[in-house]
């Protein structure tokens, strides 16, 4: 059962549906790369959102985040843009980026009936060693979690891999925010917490499509929601990092549908040079 008491329904995707998801996920990846080219000191988060929205429309997609949520307070942007101590769901607006900031940009797109959803934490021009260590550990945890997304494993195996890798370095692993199934809808079952015990949780089956997204803090794991009803920040004001990939569970290694390759081409930061496992 889900936390709200409703039955958990996990939709397995066929090969045709998975390929459509791959196209949508790749458009998200290209959108993040497009935005990456404009991230610099002095740019507003509203400007980055404008660039993304225009690009998505030009490519035939529809922002999955814009208008999402309660009718009384729908999310207003095409992107969630969260700076420094903001964890997720930051609303694009007048905030100006400064050199030394880090900014998590989360993008979701509807395309041909399926949703792509991916996130990346960018460095604004420069980064201190302490912040780089946080980013490095968070990216590593993403791929370690994905390594556990195999047919027959359980959601707790993914969460435990992420939690162990991050908490062993003294970082906070947020509990209230989780990864999720993704497909025809932005959020589907099952939930994918970034913590857990091996062998616990929902069993994974080949054809399950997931958005794995560790949200890791430099300090404590406590969070709070701002008055806008969306922006979530760390309670202690410490920085937070967030990365997300769409994947398909397989018998062996998971198939990663989204990619950071396009971002690397723009930022010139090679993931392979940052990530070390173990």
The reply to whether 193 falls in a domain is: yes
The reply to whether 5 falls in a domain is: no
pLDDT score recorded for residue 7: 66
pLDDT score recorded for residue 269: 63
Which residue segment(s) compose the domain that 86 sits in?
A: 15-274
The answer to whether residues 38 and 79 touch, using CB atoms and an 8 Å cutoff, is: no
The reply to whether 207 falls in a domain is: yes
Q: What is the pLDDT of residues 88-137, one digit of tens each?
A: 999 999 999 999 999 999 999 999 999 999 999 999 999 999 999 999 99
pLDDT score recorded for residue 3: 41
The reply to whether 3 falls in a domain is: no
CATH number, position 164: 3.90.230.10
The answer to whether residues 184 and 114 touch, using CB atoms and an 8 Å cutoff, is: yes
pLDDT score recorded for residue 9: 86
The reply to whether 182 falls in a domain is: yes
Domain count, the chain: 1
Task: Tell me the CB-side half-sphere exposure of residue 94, using CA atoms within 13 A.
Answer: 0
Q: What is the pLDDT of residues 182-235, one digit of tens each?
A: 999 999 999 999 999 999 999 999 999 999 999 999 999 999 999 999 999 999
pLDDT score recorded for residue 268: 76
The reply to whether 4 falls in a domain is: no
The reply to whether 84 falls in a domain is: yes
The answer to whether residues 108 and 184 touch, using CB atoms and an 8 Å cutoff, is: no
The reply to whether 169 falls in a domain is: yes
Q: What is the pLDDT of residues 61-92, one digit of tens each?
A: 999 999 999 999 999 999 999 999 999 999 99
Tokens of 98: 């400064």
Q: What is the pLDDT of residues 142-180, one digit of tens each?
A: 999 999 999 999 999 999 999 999 999 999 999 999 999
Secondary structure, 3-state, the chain:
CCCCCCCCCCCCCCHHHHHHHHHHHHHHHHHHHHHHCCCCCCCEHHHHHHHHHHHHHHCCCEECCCCCCCCCCCCCCCEEEEECCEEECCCCCCCECCCCCEEEEEEEEEECCEEEEEEEEEECCCCCHHHHHHHHHHHHHHHHHHHCCECCCEHHHHHHHHHHHHHCCCCEECCCCCEEECCCCCCEEEEECCCCCCCCCCECCCCCEEEECCEEECCCCCEEECCCCCCEEECCCCCEEECEEEEECECCCCEECCCCHHHHHHHCCCHHHHCCCC
Confidence tier at 8 by pLDDT (50, 70, 90): confident
Q: What is the pLDDT of residues 239-271, one digit of tens each?
A: 999 999 999 999 999 999 999 999 999 987 645
């Amino acid at each position: 059962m889900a936390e709200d008491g409703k039955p958990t329904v996990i939709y397995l995707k066929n090969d045709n549906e998975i390929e459509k998801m791959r196209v949508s996920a790749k458009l998200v990846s290209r959108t993040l790369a497009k935005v990456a080219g404009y991230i610099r000191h002095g740019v507003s988060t509203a400007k980055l959102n404008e660039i993304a929205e225009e690009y998505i429309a030009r490519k035939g997609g529809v922002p999955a985040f814009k208008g999402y949520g309660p009718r009384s307070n729908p999310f207003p942007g095409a992107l969630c843009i969260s700076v420094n101590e903001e964890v997720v769901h930051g609303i694009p607006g007048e905030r100006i980026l400064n050199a030394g900031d880090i900014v998590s940009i989360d993008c979701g797109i509807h395309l041909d009936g399926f949703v792509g959803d991916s996130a990346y934490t960018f460095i604004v021009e420069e980064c201190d060693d302490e912040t780089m260590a946080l980013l490095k550990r968070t990216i590593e945890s993403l791929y370690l979690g994905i390594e556990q997304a195999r047919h027959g494993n359980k959601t707790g195996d993914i969460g435990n891999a992420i939690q162990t890798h991050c908490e062993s370095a003294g970082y906070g692993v947020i509990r209230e925010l989780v990864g999720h199934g993704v497909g025809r809808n932005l959020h589907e079952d099952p939930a994918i917490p970034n913590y857990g015990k091996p062998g616990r949780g929902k069993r994974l089956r080949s054809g399950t499509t997931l958005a794995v997204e560790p949200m890791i803090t430099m300090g404590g794991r406590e969070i709070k929601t701002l008055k806008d009803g969306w922006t979530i920040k760390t309670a202690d004001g410490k920085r937070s990092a967030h990365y997300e990939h769409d994947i398909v569970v397989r018998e062996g290694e998971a198939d990663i549908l989204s990619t950071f390759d396009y971002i690397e081409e723009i930022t010139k930061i090679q993931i392979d040079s940052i990530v070390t496992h173990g």
